[in-house]
């Protein structure tokens, strides 16, 4: 079980492609939780839930767009018996969005939409103590919606993560 923190940079919104750790305008870092199954023959199943928000979208009269990303990934651990374990991961995701309109006289209600995605990535886990670990990961998230959410319908882009996890 773990917590993660990082940068998700949807390419269609990125004004800083040469700065991989700089968030897109109006967005902060994302936060998430991760549950990973025990390793069986160098594989484990990971379920992750994260939330990302972009604020002050005056171009489309929105106070914020919030995305919640639920993914199911298969992790292939290259060195499962070591304290330093590189891995590759791939999986699918369900994505829920919420558009919060700017305060206006017409009192528009928030708009929710669902999308889907794929994840492909690589990372490395460091076992710090018997039950405590740290991880670094790069993933590419392919994330699309059937209709525009906020400024785009395509939130695909790289995600950089720092993870702290507890092993039961």
68-104 per-position pLDDT tens digit: 999 999 999 999 888 999 999 999 999 999 999 887 6
CATH of the domain at 53: 2.40.160.20
Domain extent at residue 23: 2-166
Query: By the 8 A CB rule, do 47 and 72 touch?
Result: yes
Tally of structural domains, the chain: 1
Q: How far apart are CA 3 and CA 17, in angstroms?
A: 26
pTM score, two decimals? Answer: 0.88
16-35 per-position pLDDT tens digit: 888 988 999 999 999 999 99
């Amino acid at each position: 079980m773990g917590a993660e923190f990082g940068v998700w940079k949807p390419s269609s919104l990125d004004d800083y492609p040469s700065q991989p750790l700089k968030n897109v305008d109006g967005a902060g870092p994302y936060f998430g939780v991760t549950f990973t199954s025990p390793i069986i023959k160098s594989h484990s199943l990971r379920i992750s839930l994260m939330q990302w928000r972009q604020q002050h979208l005056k171009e489309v009269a929105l106070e914020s767009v919030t995305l919640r990303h639920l993914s199911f990934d298969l992790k292939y651990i290259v060195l499962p018996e070591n304290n330093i374990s590189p891995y590759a991961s791939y999986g699918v995701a369900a994505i829920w969005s919420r558009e919060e309109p700017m305060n206006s006289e017409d009192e528009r209600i928030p708009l929710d939409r669902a999308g889907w995605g794929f994840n492909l990535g690589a990372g490395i886990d460091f076992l710090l103590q018997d039950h405590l670990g740290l991880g670094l990961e790069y993933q590419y998230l392919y994330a699309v919606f059937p209709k525009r959410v906020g400024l785009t319908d395509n939130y695909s882009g790289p995600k950089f993560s720092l993870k702290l996890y507890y092993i039961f």
